[in-house]
């Protein structure tokens, strides 16, 4: 029941933030600002670089540096740090990674420091857990900045759908939140588990930074279906997608949980 309540709260917050997304526009001088859905100017043009809004947040820059703004136009940092904002629609951005003085920490949506700048690298929080790099190895912390999985791994992914990827001796496998190996490392590259399924690469080569996968597996490591999938997007509401070709010139294909194309 608690897990269900948590999931419902996450989806409710994602929907709330989506309603607060502003629309980017450019003025005659090439500067960017933002309007609301009624075309009222909320943020007057002043940024040389500006992203689209995602979950009520946007990444912006001036000649002073980078920043993140919320749906009111409030700047969350002082331009002296470097935000790590990846715009992953699967992530609930309550913790926002910022780099200052060569170390990474996390702020909240009001700009308050939640986790001190102390890590060599970090990835996004999800399921209340975030990957952090200490020295040369990766482990995981919780939202109280407690180290719940000691730095052990060369590389890791975020936790999603209860599992995280880890890299060992040149191959990827999966662990659960108790740091138990669920699927032994045997893949050249992986995507994220979502709705119990994950696209992986068992070929001897990789491409485009992990762009190709050839099997979709379940949480037992069993093959559900095979194919050639470029830029595979994890499942959401029973639907995943991929491109037919590495250069995105082929068709963008949508498939169901059995690998069948959705027309």
215 contacts 207 by C-beta, under 8 angstroms: no
Instruction: Output the pLDDT for position 113.
Output: 93
Structure tokens at 215: 């099997």
Instruction: Output the pLDDT for position 161.
Output: 95
Nearest-CA neighbor of 179 among 167, 190, 163?
163
235 contacts 202 by C-beta, under 8 angstroms: no
Ranges of residues in the chain with a pLDDT under 50 are 1-15, 208-210
Instruction: Output the pLDDT for position 8.
Output: 36
Dist. CA 257–CA 48, nearest whole Å: 43
First to last CA, the chain: 36
Instruction: Output the pLDDT for position 90.
Output: 57
Would you give the distance in Å from CA 201 to the centre of its chain?
20
Dist. CA 198–CA 219, nearest whole Å: 8
Cα–Cα distances in angstroms (integers) from residue 183 to residues 70, 112, 164, 175, in the given order: 39, 38, 10, 7
């Amino acid at each position: 029941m608690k897990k269900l309540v948590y999931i419902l709260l996450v989806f409710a917050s994602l929907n709330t933030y989506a309603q607060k997304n502003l629309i980017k526009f450019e003025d005659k001088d090439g500067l960017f600002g933002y309007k609301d859905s009624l075309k009222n100017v909320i943020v007057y043009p002043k940024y040389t670089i500006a992203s689209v809004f995602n979950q009520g947040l946007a990444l912006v820059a001036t000649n002073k540096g980078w920043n993140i703004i919320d749906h009111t136009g409030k700047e969350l940092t002082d331009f002296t740090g470097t935000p790590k904002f990846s715009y992953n629609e699967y992530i609930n951005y309550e913790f926002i990674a910022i780099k200052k003085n060569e170390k990474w920490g996390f702020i909240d949506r009001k700009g308050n420091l939640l986790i001190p700048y102390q890590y060599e690298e970090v990835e996004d929080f999800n399921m209340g857990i975030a990957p952090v790099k200490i020295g040369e190895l990766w482990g995981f912390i919780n939202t109280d900045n407690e180290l719940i999985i000691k730095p052990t791994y060369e590389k890791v992914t975020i936790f999603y759908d209860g599992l995280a990827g880890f890299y060992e001796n040149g191959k990827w496998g999966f662990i659960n939140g108790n740091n138990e190996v669920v699927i032994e490392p045997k893949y050249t590259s992986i995507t994220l588990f979502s709705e119990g399924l994950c696209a992986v690469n068992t070929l001897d080569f990789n491409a485009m930074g992990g762009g190709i996968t050839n099997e979709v597996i379940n949480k037992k490591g069993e093959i559900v279906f095979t194919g050639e999938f470029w830029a595979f997007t994890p499942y959401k509401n029973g639907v995943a997608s991929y491109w037919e070709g590495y250069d995105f010139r082929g068709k963008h294909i949508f498939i169901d949980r059995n690998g069948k194309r959705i027309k």
